[in-house]
């Protein structure tokens, strides 16, 4: 044990008593944080505008004579935001019964128009369905109204108009309502 201690001390003396540890110059030490994760699929359809809640209130005798009443002011706007391909489906329910008469869902027609890409360079706004670029009947079965099968879109819009078929022999006075449902989904 003494021999080992003497060898250690003599080694220190020979080396000038300098410790064997070398001190490094000051350095910056980086620390890391990893940021990431999965971007979810986003498909949103929004309905805005003043709409047509009182559309039937303005029906006149002349409208019955031509067999319909229509709008042409685009008072409802659809806005789609999606980060992948999408389609918007549309359907409506039968109208509320009036004294036992149920006006068919197909008496309500829809037209889509004025497609606009709000954020240029972030999609092309897709394609409006040829069926609905002129007034076409809705039904209780969902139909494709608008779609983009190639890319997503950041806020593209289109306007909606309605036309209701009228029949003086069937459409008795009363409050008629129906629900139009827009659904966005994968193509």
Q: So what's the pLDDT on residue 22?
A: 53
Q: What is the pLDDT of residues 112-152, one digit of tens each?
A: 999 999 988 899 999 999 999 999 999 999 999 999 999 99
Distance CA 162, CA 65 (A): 18
Q: What is the pLDDT of residues 65-118, one digit of tens each?
A: 999 999 999 999 999 999 999 999 999 999 999 999 999 999 999 999 999 999
Whether residue 11 has pLDDT greater than 90: no
Q: Place 9 in a pLDDT band, splitting at 50, 70 and 90.
A: very low
Three-class DSSP category at 61: helix
Residue 69 · residue 61 · CB < 8 Å = no
Q: So what's the pLDDT on residue 26?
A: 75
Q: So what's the pLDDT on residue 28?
A: 82
**Six-digit token string for 145:** 């109204």
Report whether CATH 3.30.310 matches the domain 43-185: no
184: closest CA among 128, 155, 144, 156? Answer: 144
Q: So what's the pLDDT on residue 19?
A: 52
Distance CA 118, CA 153 (A): 9
Q: Where are the domains of the chain?
A: 43-185
Single pTM value for the model: 0.80
Which tops the pLDDT comparison, 5 or 115?
Answer: 115
């Amino acid at each position: 044990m003494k021999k080992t201690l003497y060898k250690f001390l003599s080694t220190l003396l020979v080396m000038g008593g300098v410790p064997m540890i070398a001190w490094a110059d000051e350095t910056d030490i980086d620390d890391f944080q990893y940021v990431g994760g999965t971007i979810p699929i986003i498909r949103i359809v929004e309905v805005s505008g003043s709409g047509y809640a009182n559309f039937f209130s303005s029906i006149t005798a002349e409208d019955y004579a031509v067999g319909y009443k229509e709008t042409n002011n685009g008072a409802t706007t659809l806005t789609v935001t999606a980060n992948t391909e999408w389609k918007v489906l549309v359907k409506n329910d039968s109208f509320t019964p009036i004294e036992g008469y149920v006006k068919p869902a197909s008496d309500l027609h829809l037209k889509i128009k004025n497609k606009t890409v709000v954020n240029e360079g972030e999609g092309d706004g897709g394609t409006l369905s040829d069926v609905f670029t002129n007034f076409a009947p809705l039904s209780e079965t969902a139909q494709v109204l608008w779609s983009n099968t190639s890319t997503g879109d950041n806020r593209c819009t289109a306007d909606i108009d309605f036309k209701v078929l009228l029949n003086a022999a069937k459409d008795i006075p009363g409050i008629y309502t129906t629900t139009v449902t827009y659904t966005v989904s994968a193509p």
